[in-house]
Amino acid sequence: MVALLAGVAFAQLSPELGGTPTPAQRLAYARSGHYEADEFKNLVPTTVMTGSMVSALWRTLFRSVPNERPAAPLPTHPLDSLSITQKSNDLVRVTWFGHSASLVEIAGKNILLDPMLSVKMGPLAWVTPKRYNPQLAITPEQLPPIDAVLISHDHYDHLDYKTIIKLKDKTQHFYVPLGVGVHLRAWGVDPARVTELNWGDSVRLPGLTIVSTPSRHFSGRGLTNRNSTSWSSWVLKTATKRVFYSGDGGYGPHFQAIGAQYGPFDLALMECGQYDAQWPQIHMVPEQSVQAALDVRARAMLPVHWGAFTEAHHAWNEPVSRAAAAASRLHLPLTTPELGQPVTLGAGPLPQAPWWQ
């Protein structure tokens, strides 16, 4: 118990915790339309957890799940950083690194989504999930200059302090949900490189528009800052191509609204793992992920939020297995690349090998 308390105290003092919004910033958030009583809200009523915390803790500590982790590191394609710099402006290529971290090459630009590129997670690595693979397809240091980093929300498995420290000087700009900028500025990111977006806000880069769109989730990096920052899904669109990233979140009517306003999408990266019966409103089960991809009018889906960490009570490969079955039933093309394997749109068949079996 003493060790646990000491660990909690350390976590609360660690720089990984991030920053805290000022009263003036909180006043500005109130104009967002989804911020009340110092907390951001979802578009529809949302409960983070159903049932009791005691039962959830009991399951975590004393109930194991068969096949909870892969027996060996997952197959990985080491990424050639030179290939990222040698591309045409009309190329659209997506490379998934595991969990939700992905590189989107579009309009001649390098866009990183939720770059959790560390092996260890958070300020207390001895209590957080262990990454399946001891190394990734590429390290932050090996990446070429990044035009934009997009963050969906501030949880440790999406906003990684160690990765941001390594990327902050090679990233031209960070686009984040309202409030998340306080963490980046606390970590020494130049404030001029940080833009916070409300749902519906957009920014235009040469040849590319980035739009913040709703998701249904929650936020917080400590014991006392639940929902102090917002959460988002993201739209990337050029004159001819569109890519959607769901971020984390439960199923809801926002997907149809996004599809109606911004679709159709050539590819949707959809959350598809780390779900639980007690979290039905903040994480989708795989069948809902497939339906959400159809709702946003995606021509193909790439399941993410799996393949790196075990954060819920299901087999490590259950998300993609269930998603593949649902996508087949609903006639939605599903691409299932190995870690680091590029998915190039319009260049022939998408990777679809069932390697997780």
20 is a domain residue: no
SS3 content of the chain, % helix, strand, coil (to 5): 25, 20, 55
Write out the H or E segment, with its range, that includes residue 338: none
259 is a domain residue: yes
**What pLDDT does 3 receive?**
37
C-alpha distance from residue 63 to each of 58, 66, 67, 126 (Å) = 7, 10, 13, 19
CATH number of the domain that residue 275 is part of: 3.60.15.10
49 is a domain residue: no
* Beta strand 343-344 pairing with 109-113: unpaired
294 Cβ contact partners less than 8 Å away, ≥ 6 residues apart: 330, 332
Q: What is the pLDDT along the chain (357 residues), one digit of tens a residue?
A: 333 333 444 445 799 999 999 999 999 999 999 999 999 999 999 999 986 666 666 566 556 789 999 999 999 999 988 889 888 889 999 999 999 999 999 999 999 999 999 999 999 888 899 999 999 999 999 999 999 999 999 999 999 999 999 999 999 999 999 999 999 999 999 999 999 999 999 999 999 999 999 999 999 999 889 999 999 999 999 999 999 999 999 999 999 999 999 999 999 999 999 999 999 999 999 999 999 999 999 999 999 999 999 999 999 999 999 999 999 999 999 999 999 999 999 999 999 999 999
Query: Which pTM does this prediction carry?
Result: 0.94
Facing residues of 95 across strands? 103
Domain enclosing residue 273, as ranges: 75-344
3-state SS class at 237: strand
62 is a domain residue: no
82 is a domain residue: yes
Q: Where are the beta strands (DSSP E) in 142-232?
A: 148-150, 174-177, 194-197, 202-205, 208-213
6 is a domain residue: no
* Beta strand 35-36 pairing with 39-40: antiparallel
Backbone torsions φ then ψ of 328, nearest 5 degrees: -65, -45
59 Cβ contact partners less than 8 Å away, ≥ 6 residues apart: 313
Supply angle C-alpha 308, 129, 338, rounded to 5: 5
25 is a domain residue: no
CB–CB of 334/300 below 8 Å?
yes
Provide the domain count of the chain. Answer: 1
**What pLDDT does 8 receive?**
47
288 is a domain residue: yes
CB–CB of 121/114 below 8 Å?
no
Supply angle C-alpha 353, 356, 357, rounded to 5: 95
